[in-house]
Structure 1
Amino acid sequence: MKALSYLNKYLVKYKWYLILGTIFTIISNLFGIIPAQLVRYALDLVGETLDIYYLFEGAAIQSKIYDIFTFSILMYGLLILGMALLKGIFLFMVRQTIIVMSRHIEFDLKNDVYQHYQTLPMSFYRRHNTGDLMARISEDVSKVRMYVGPSIMYGINLLVLFVMLIGYMLSVNVRLTVYVLLPLPLLSISIYIVNSIIIRRSEEIQRQLSNLSTYVQEAFSGIRVIKSFVQERYSFGNLQKEAEVFKDKSLSMTRVDALFYPLILLLVGFSNILVVYIGGQQIINGTLTPGNITEFILYVNMLTWPVMALGWTTSQIQRAAASQARINEFLEEKTTLVSTENRRTPVAGALSFRHVGFIYPDSGIQALQDFSLEVSRGETVAILGTTGSGKSTLANLICRLYDPTQGQILLDGQPLASYDIQYLRRQMGYVPQDVFLFSDSIANNVRFGIPDLPFEQVEQAVKDADLYQNIVEFPHGFDTRLGERGITLSGGQKQRLSIARAIARDPKILILDDCLSAVDTNTENIILNNLKRIMANRTSVIISHRVSSAKLADTIVVLDDGRIVEQGTHQALMERNGTYRELYEKQLQTEEV
């Protein structure tokens, strides 16, 4: 229950559902116990009336006795029927409170987990795969709901019924009650042993389910690659292997789980035998009536379902505990990206990098070493370099998706860490190298940074990104819905839409991370010429491996293996006859060819 204690705050929040559910459970059980007493009275009445009936055999009063007897039995039958109806009504009310409470808690827990996911840094997402994240917010939360819903409902029902029944049974006959309860300690020990096995196997199942979800999610995301390489059979074979492991683990737990019901039925049957045997002896001695024995058998059978549910409930609680432990593992993760001062002062855009170094925490790879650079307000700087030189890492540090492991980054002379994180990121327009578009309309993808952005600004942003003509040719224009990850568009169109999304929010700092790699040179020139107007009076960082993208830059920085090897204007670097010139001439020759 230690892992499940996290849910107590939700139980307190929805305490009235729980309180009312408990009250309705007590009332419904009361209407379940009373019919057993009515059966006892009816059965004893039959025995007593028969003796009197045959005593007056042949007399005129015998028919009146019969009429009174049948009327009494009819009244008992109607009372039992009425009690059953009332019990059903209150059982409905129990579900309308406790089960509804569980749905509210499920809703809140999923929202809290998702909200917490969004606060975690990029390093967390590099360590954990998407399938595992999805499994914890869906499968694990669903299993937790079974604890706060049906498990609590059946648990309260068992507790209430046990207290009410045992108390009444003791008042009728102590000795018979003790014999009826003899199998219960054995039942408790059996449940404890079986559940110890169940919780271990449940954790294994959840881990395997995460692996299975991850594989399926990855296969669907890369379906074009799978089809292109004709690897459908191989992919399906791998899925079968993962599913086979999941099936074997599930069957192993099902075999253990199957021990509950035969065990409980055996112990309940043994209780019935004891009732008949011990009760029969007391009837012979004259201390009990046949109605008492029938009543006790009904009580034992009333305990049968709750005790059977005890096995199911404990199993569900153990599974919920395993799932909540997995959820808690992520909820206990805290982001290191916190603001020191929550600064929200207006941003001009001057950036300063002072001996910045960065090592990726998950891989240990050093991406930047002793990087120092001054970028004035409104200046455009181009960061050039080959693949793996640390260009994209620099973009991540500016957006504060990571913090430097060495040195410091300043914005307008203030440490980047002093700004409120969300406020800081609202000042930036970021076009990532790996373009991601949402399954929504083109207009809404452009509006992503500002959901209420006027259509005129959406249209202008698309024109600046040289995508307007493509969009108006679509049958639905700006209302065209994109497939998952923007699969409807070509690579170049996706990059241009990503640029439009960044510039639509009118950022103080514009970061273009190799965002023109999928467009041809002519389109690149059109976009860069449009961006020239947009970049005016705003700080811009152009990250690219193509020299042509740097022609608008006031300063060009050449990176190699995380270090600055050259820095200056285009003319100065060409005259230096170094790495930049070599890179320029190679790309120029390639374009000519």
Structure 2
Amino acid sequence: MKQDKISGKAYDSRLLGRLAKYMRPYQGIFWVSVVLTILLAAVAPALPMLIEYTLDNYILNGQYKGLNSMLIVMLALLVAQTIIRYFHTLMTNTLGQSVIRDIRIQVFEHITNLRLKYFDNTPIGRLITRTISDLETIANIFSEGLIQIIGDLLQLVVILGVMFYTDWRLTLIILIPMPLMLWATYIFKEAMKSAFQDVRLWVSNLNTFLQEHISGMAVIQYFAREEQEMKKFDAINKEHRNAHVRANWYFSIFFPVLEIIIAIATGLLVWYGSKQVLADVISPGVVVAFLMYINMIFRPIRELIDKFNTLQMGMVSAERIFEVLDTNEFTPNTGTYRPEHIRGAIEFKNVWFAYNDEKWVLKDVSFKVQPGETLALVGATGAGKSSTINILSRFYEIQKGQILLDGVDIRDYELTFLRKNISTVLQDVFLFSDTVKNNITLQNPHITDEQIINAAKRVGAYDFIMRLPTGLDYKVQERGATLSAGQAQLVSFIRALVHDPRILILDEATSSIDTETEILIQSAIDNLMEGRTAIVIAHRLSTIQKADKIIVLEKGEMKEMGSHQELLALDGYYRKLYDLQFTSAGI
């Protein structure tokens, strides 16, 4: 399967700068988080200092009077630290979730505006990974990464300052193993960079595989490919597991090394501190306080590594997210023309179109359709029929020629306005996991139940909808799984009609409908098309015999154009298609 792109950078200030822009609406939360971070760092050395003072001035001197007061002060300090830490965690998580909510909305909006060519070349599972799991990783930059790193560094500076002020000799003794820790940290950081990139790679590949194969489960079962696809999944899953195991292996090596370094520092402190106490150079309280300081300076360093990995993983995800946001594969929306009324006159003038390079799908195609006329496109698979309607709605851009709507180039129309005036019923019907009503209206509040019912009656779908358990409120499953293929097709037909387009496109719209249902639709088609320009793509020639014009396409070229009777009289391509189809049908 196609491999996802691996990020080449572990840290990028430019990415952090871009992420920081999303914090601007939440500056209040950010600065509250910063203040709480400073408070946590400021109070961090307070408890060891209180214990040192209590031990030296009360316990060792047998002065129990006032000891309870010191214990109350320590308890109050612990409560204050707990409260500050609670609000700090709340604020940083709120900031992170608020930021990714905004980014997720922007990513989704960006994706919905990309041209279809982008989706032709990009696995859907990869986009799902970007929109969900990659964004959750970015949230950790704010809740567990950047601010926490600043807090740990600040706490480290404060504690080291207090330690040097208290006894610089003890401080230097404790810091003897520090170069070893820094070297181990650097090795670990470089190893984790590669490991985290591999983890993100295989998460994306796993999501892509699952999305494709769950969507295509019917094909897998039809051809009894369960075992073979399971082997593919097992291979990807093993790589995903191995990436995580490798990352955890680095952790399992690094943290025991840190514990050994902390133990060395503790041993040095006990050895040197005891000598200093016996020599009456320092008090026992100082040694006890420094034992607590050891944990306080090495714990932030240890957590800094963990937080740096969180930041590093967030940078990898941020780079992937911005890669999507920086994709400029949009349909140019420079047009501003929005007339009050569209008549529906369509003209193709010497149109050339290719999906890739100059592998032409349409070659020098020219035709006119007058308002209210019905144009039918016929031809073998790959002749260019669907491409013709795709470029009319500007899902793809033509390379040569011009397409006019009411005499105006379609590129001059405002894109949304253009598409709102063109409704399409596709062969492959897509229904959302929602009610029949919402699948028809697509959440458009201006479409009433009366309009839906009238459209349903016109296409002969009213009876079947009313037979559903809750009628229009009946909830269909994903892709219309609880409806028959014909019923789903009828719902999509109603959906096209209630939006009242000036141009109606039927792309093999009756291919999934049984004969009885097709007769119902065909009997209503004359009324449905009245006052609208219609383009019909059909393999079954019986459905397009009443069309005003029929165009025969072959390998992207127009071979014939005329009415049904005119094309039969030509005794050419259309006649061959007609004879082949009706002879094979036994007619």
The answer to whether the 8 Å contact 2:348/2:403 transfers is yes
Q: Write out aligned runs for 1:61-76 (5 A).
A: 69-76=63-70
SS of alignment partner, residue 507 of structure 1: coil
Match of 2:348 among 350, 353, 360: 353
SS of alignment partner, residue 246 of structure 1: helix
Q: Percent identity, aligned pairs only? A: 30
Q: Write out aligned runs for 1:375-454 (5 A).
A: 375-448=369-442, 450-454=444-448
SS of alignment partner, residue 488 of structure 2: helix
Q: Does 1:502 align with 2:496?
A: yes
User: How far off its partner does 1:88 sit?
Assistant: 0.3
User: How far off its partner does 1:286 sit?
Assistant: 4.0
Q: Tell me what 1:27 maps to.
A: 39
Q: Write out aligned runs for 1:101-250 (5 A).
A: 101-250=95-244
The answer to whether the 8 Å contact 1:264/1:307 transfers is no
Question: How has the CA–CA distance of structure 1 residues 414 and 178 changed in structure 2, closer, same or farther, with 3 Å as cutoff?
Answer: farther
Stretches of structure 2 lacking an aligned partner (at least 5 in a row) = 1-10
Q: Tell me what 1:17 maps to.
A: 29
Question: How has the CA–CA distance of structure 1 residues 98 and 267 changed in structure 2, closer, same or farther, with 3 Å as cutoff?
Answer: same
Q: Tell me what 1:559 maps to.
A: 553
SS of alignment partner, residue 349 of structure 1: coil
Cα distance between partner residues in 2 of 1:186 and 1:272:
15
Q: Does 1:471 align with 2:465?
A: yes
Structure whose residues are more often helix by fraction: 1
The answer to whether the 8 Å contact 2:145/2:311 transfers is yes
Cα distance between partner residues in 2 of 1:175 and 1:349:
89
Q: Does 1:40 align with 2:42?
A: no
The answer to whether the 8 Å contact 1:195/1:318 transfers is no
Deviations 1:532-562 (A, max 9, x none): 2121122111111221221232111110111
The answer to whether the 8 Å contact 1:176/1:279 transfers is yes
Letter in structure 1 aligned against 2:125: G
Cα distance between partner residues in 2 of 1:262 and 1:152:
25
User: How far off its partner does 1:26 sit?
Assistant: 2.4
Letter in structure 2 aligned against 1:487: A
The answer to whether the 8 Å contact 1:430/1:502 transfers is yes
Letter in structure 1 aligned against 2:449: F
User: How far off its partner does 1:46 sit?
Assistant: 4.2
Q: Does 1:491 align with 2:485?
A: yes
Stretches of structure 1 lacking an aligned partner (at least 5 in a row) = 51-68
Deviations 1:98-124 (A, max 9, x none): 111111112112111111111111011
Match of 2:285 among 291, 309, 316: 291
The more displaced of 553-562 and 491-500 is 491-500
The more displaced of 201-210 and 454-463 is 201-210
Cα distance between partner residues in 2 of 1:522 and 1:585:
24
Letter in structure 1 aligned against 2:504: L
SS of alignment partner, residue 512 of structure 2: coil
SS of alignment partner, residue 537 of structure 2: strand
Letter in structure 1 aligned against 2:354: I
Letter in structure 2 aligned against 1:414: V
Q: Give the TM-score normalised by structure 1.
A: 0.92
The answer to whether the 8 Å contact 2:345/2:406 transfers is yes
User: How far off its partner does 1:185 sit?
Assistant: 4.1
Question: How has the CA–CA distance of structure 1 residues 249 and 434 changed in structure 2, closer, same or farther, with 3 Å as cutoff?
Answer: same
Cα distance between partner residues in 1 of 2:369 and 2:349:
12
Cα distance between partner residues in 1 of 2:459 and 2:123:
33
SS of alignment partner, residue 377 of structure 2: strand
RMSD (Å) for aligned C-alpha atoms: 2.0
User: How far off its partner does 1:398 sit?
Assistant: 0.9
Cα distance between partner residues in 2 of 1:37 and 1:431:
76
User: How far off its partner does 1:436 sit?
Assistant: 0.7
Cα distance between partner residues in 2 of 1:590 and 1:453:
44
Q: Tell me what 1:270 maps to.
A: 264
SS of alignment partner, residue 335 of structure 1: coil
Letter in structure 2 aligned against 1:154: Q
Q: Give the TM-score normalised by structure 2.
A: 0.93
SS of alignment partner, residue 14 of structure 1: helix
Letter in structure 2 aligned against 1:393: S
The answer to whether the 8 Å contact 2:192/2:309 transfers is yes
The more displaced of 177-186 and 11-20 is 177-186
User: How far off its partner does 1:288 sit?
Assistant: 2.2
User: How far off its partner does 1:47 sit?
Assistant: 6.4
User: How far off its partner does 1:307 sit?
Assistant: 1.9
SS of alignment partner, residue 348 of structure 2: strand
Match of 1:528 among 522, 525, 531: 522
Cα distance between partner residues in 1 of 2:534 and 2:285:
91
Q: Tell me what 1:257 maps to.
A: 251
SS of alignment partner, residue 18 of structure 2: helix
Cα distance between partner residues in 2 of 1:183 and 1:356:
75
Q: Tell me what 2:3 maps to.
A: none
Cα distance between partner residues in 2 of 1:342 and 1:191:
58
User: How far off its partner does 1:390 sit?
Assistant: 0.7
The more displaced of 149-158 and 240-249 is 149-158
SS of alignment partner, residue 64 of structure 2: helix
